Chain A
Amino acid sequence: MRQARPASKTAHDVDFVVVGSGAAGGVIAKELAVAGFRVVVLEQGPYLRPPDFNHDEVAVFEEAALTNDFRQQPTTFRKTPQDKAQKQPCVLYGRMVGGGTVHFTANYWRLHEIDFIERSRCGPIAGTGFADWPITYADLEPHYTKVEWEIGVSGLAGASPFDPPRSKPYPMPALPVKSSGVIFERAARKLGWHPFPAPMAILSRPYPGRGACVHCGFCEFFGCEVGAKSSTLASVIPMAERTGRCEIRPHSYVRKIETDARGHATGVIYFDKERRERFLKARAVIVCANGAETPRLLLMSKSNLFPQGLANSSGLVGKYLMINGGAGATGLFEHPLNDYKSVAVSRVLHDFYSIDPKHGFYGGGGIDARFDATPIGFALGAMPPDAPAWGKEYKALLREYFTRTMFIYTHSTSLPVETNSFSLDPEVKDAWGLPALCLTYKDHPDDLKTMQFFLDRALELLDAAGARRKWSWPITEQSFAVHLLGTCRMGNDPKTSVINPDHRAHDVPNLFLCDGSSFVTSGRGQPTMTIQALAYRAAGRIVELAKRGELGA
């Protein structure tokens, strides 16, 4: 921004403090820094570099090297607000510079037009806060394109007849098909469905400063050593730092957003690596801490002026949580697929993006062909439930199955139910003495029916593929959240939403929230790309407001 003032003349430490460096925080920090603002990003986790990553299953799973660690940050779970929450692991998110984009699988589906206007198309649904978004697919389309080109997404435009309109093709071709993809594609066509190459945020060609995928196969749960996976750590954060105006501060755990007598945000209080309290003053605060930590921070920021928590006059902070449905089936084939190699997913289909309402429930989703088990994970938990779990026969199955197995995985809608939420646990505290996250969640009956519908399609597909053996697990109510959506929903009405379409909190003019919490509906199960499209759009709106002097600080 041309009129950015010299540092010595401002009473503020920085223009913007961004809380969280993941999918949204990384993008917004980069956009604001490029626009000329001074930005500090506070990230609770460490700043790891590609050489720090490895394929060590023990470190990644047992020691929570890239994610929140329940031993430091316990969580509690209950099904309904009437139950007493029990201490148990129930939330997983990336806890490091780059957030969840470092360890994610990198499926990059756009939302479709219907996702933004479901409520007006389908009418109300009992027991839900089903609503239209205040923006449309057309509003977001340019930002989806920017995501694809700036962070790097591989795919084949026009390959799915159900794709929404796009202004540009993908910047690089789809990644090579795997054996699971070929099996899936041919079986799906037999059934009259429309499989297509999976759009993935993984480079099929080198990008400036980053290598193309070497097909090591350690995507999901692992960091990428060659920078081919388009995490914000590999893509936009280096761009932000190159401006000289963006500082990433790792090990900085924000506990409160401070406000002044007018009710404007003045900055944030955070713990540094040595657990000393620090205050960082800023003209505006942008929270991109994910759909669990963003509402938690607002609820922890209560004050005399904001007794229910900051930006919570609607009472909806933390509510309407949606975690997406997931169901899947496993198939065994005659010859080795060696599907542990390369990216997890190579083929997808969207024929059931909106399930025919004649089934009597609302929902929709997508289906993919994948193999995302590492050796230990496969041996511990992916074998048929009725197979021996140890001994001679177990060993024989392990020997045969690891290379000959693939998964059909399905991803589906969650309806927004007000009682499904993140709140502050009244008793349990984390290692810093802050209230633990409490998850309250019970799937809407339609969501369970949707999952069952997709499980049936997955089994049907394995039959069409001629699988030698297939197995699955029954659909049950979910109690573990990875996709964290809807907890500070966007809307025009301050009574029924937390942020406006500019991502500005209705109650606090210089506070912005952007991450999965902004979602109004859940989409069909691959939210990260939309989080990033929202982040590019939000950054544009924030720059515009700042230039017009309308930040309110």
Chain B
Amino acid sequence: MEGSGVSRRQFLIQTSLGVSSAWVTATWPAILAAHEHARQAAQAGTPPKFEFFTPEQATEIEAVAAQIIPTDDTPGAREARVVYFMDKALVTFDSDKQKLYAEGLGQLQAKLQELFTGAIRFSSSSAEHQVAVLKAIEKSAFFRRVRAHTIMGFLADPKYGGNRDQAGWKLIGFDSSHVFQPPFGYYDRDYPGFEADKKKEGGA
């Protein structure tokens, strides 16, 4: 979704649908504009400073997230800036998970050294080694929480700092316009109506 054209386009679709109650007409564009504003503010300029992670911790945790949703021909957790979502979560609604992260990063390091003697940091290890370490801890509370935060950060409203440029939404095919009209998908394109379809199909 780019720029300020969005609200206008959505407003036009809404109008063409005949949704004309005074309240909606007056309010809906304002709601969309507010959403859009929050989104742009969140994504403008340089990324914010971390409030929970040290830069070193951020590098390690981002490397974990980048294995959960890797970068290939499309952006992954790294490009979506999931680590900023995690940082925000850990100082707001998931502040009770700080200890889990702090201890989990220690476990990650310990597991790395247990499996690969001489390895220094998870983030500078090879992809194969990273995957092996994560497979070894994938049942842990730490990994499960990092996985959940990675997915959330990838797909949450960009105002939380992740899902940059709607990378997550674009990947899964989610259109954030929030105003649609039928047909919605492939199978309802040529639907002739309930009675007509019943007749055509000769069904019960």
Interface residues of A (CB under 8 A from B): 50-51, 54-58, 62-63, 156, 159, 174, 176-183, 185-186, 189-190, 192-194, 196-197, 206-212, 214-218, 225-227, 333, 335-342, 375-376, 378-380, 389-392, 394-395, 398-399, 402-403
Cα of A95 to Cα of B204 in the assembled complex, Å: 43
User: In the complex, what residues of B have CB within 8 A of residue A399's CB?
Assistant: 74, 171-173
Q: State which of A55, A227, A403 has its C-beta within 8 Å of the C-beta of B185.
A: A403
* A403 and B173 alpha carbons, distance in the complex (Å): 6
Chain A residue nearest to B134 in the complex (CB): A390
Inter-chain contact A391/B156, CB cutoff 8 Å: no
Residues of B within 8 A of A194 (CB): 204
B17 CB contacts on chain A under 8 angstroms: 212, 214
What chain B residues lie within 8 Å of A208 (beta carbons)?
21
Does B44 count as interface, using CB distance less than 8 angstroms?
A: no
Which of A56, A217, A380, A403 is B148 in contact with, Cβ under 8 Å? A380
Give bound CA distance, A41 to B155, whole Å: 39
Among B76, B155, B183, the residue within 8 A (CB) of A376 is: B155
B152, A342: Cβ atoms under 8 Å? no
Asked if B35 lies at the interface with its beta carbon under 8 angstroms from chain A, I say: yes
Please, which residues of chain A bring their CB within 8 A of the CB of B30? 51
Contact B187 A214 (CB under 8 A): no
User: What residues on A are CB-neighbors of B131 within 8 Å?
Assistant: 391
A202–chain B nearest beta-carbon distance, Å? 13
User: Contacts of A398 on B, CB cut-off 8 Å?
Assistant: 171-172
> From residue B178, how far is it (CB to closest CB) to chain A in Å?
4
Which A residue sits closest to B131, measured CB to CB?
Answer: A391
A residues in contact with B198, CB < 8 Å:
189
Interface residues of B (CB under 8 A from A): 14, 17-21, 23-24, 27-28, 30-31, 35, 67-70, 72, 74, 76, 89, 93-94, 131, 134, 138, 147-148, 150-152, 154-157, 159-160, 168-169, 171-175, 178-188, 191, 194, 197-198, 201, 203-204
Q: Given A181-B188, A186-B201, check contact A380 B178 (CB 8 Å).
A: no
Tell me, rounded to whole Å, the shortest Cβ–Cβ distance linking B55 to chain A: 25
Cβ-defined contact, A57 with B194, below 8 A: no
Whether A340 lies near B171 (C-beta < 8 A) is no
Can you list 28 contacts pairing A with B, beta carbon distance less than 8 Å?
A: A55-B178, A57-B156, A58-B93, A58-B156, A156-B194, A177-B182, A177-B188, A177-B191, A185-B197, A189-B201, A206-B24, A207-B21, A211-B23, A214-B180, A216-B180, A217-B180, A225-B28, A225-B31, A226-B24, A336-B186, A341-B175, A341-B185, A375-B155, A375-B168, A376-B155, A389-B147, A392-B72, A403-B172
Query: Separation in Å of the B109 CB from the closest CB of chain A?
Result: 20
Contact check, B35 vs A54: say whether CB atoms are below 8 A apart.
yes
CA gap between A214 and B31 in the complex, in Å: 14
The answer to whether B23 touches A216 (Cβ under 8 A) is no
B contact residues around A227 at 8 Å (CB): 21, 23-24
Other-chain residue from A63, A338, A391 in contact with B67 (beta carbon distance below 8 A): A391
List chain B residues, Cβ under 8 A from A209: 21, 23
Please list the 8 inter-chain residue pairs (A to B) with the smallest Cβ-Cβ separation, ordered nearest first: A189-B203, A211-B24, A335-B186, A179-B185, A179-B187, A402-B172, A338-B185, A337-B185
Separation of A192 and B202 alpha carbons in the complex (Å): 11
**Is B172 in contact with A375, judged by CB distance below 8 angstroms?**
yes
On chain B, the residues within 8 Å of A336 by CB distance are 173, 185-186
Question: Are A375 and B174 touching (Cβ within 8 A)?
Answer: yes
Once A189-B201, A399-B172 are accepted as A-B contacts, the answer to whether A338 and B184 lie under 8 Å apart by CB is: yes
Which residues in B have their C-beta under 8 angstroms from that of A391? 67-68, 70, 131
CB distance from A175 to the nearest CB of B (A): 9
Structural contact, B171 and A395, CB atoms closer than 8 A: yes
Contacts A210-B23, A375-B169 given; does A197 touch B194 at CB 8 Å: yes
Instruction: Give the docked Cα–Cα distance between A186 and B192 (Å).
Output: 13
Tell me the complex Cα distance, A378–B180, Å: 20
A205 nearest CB neighbor, chain B only: B18
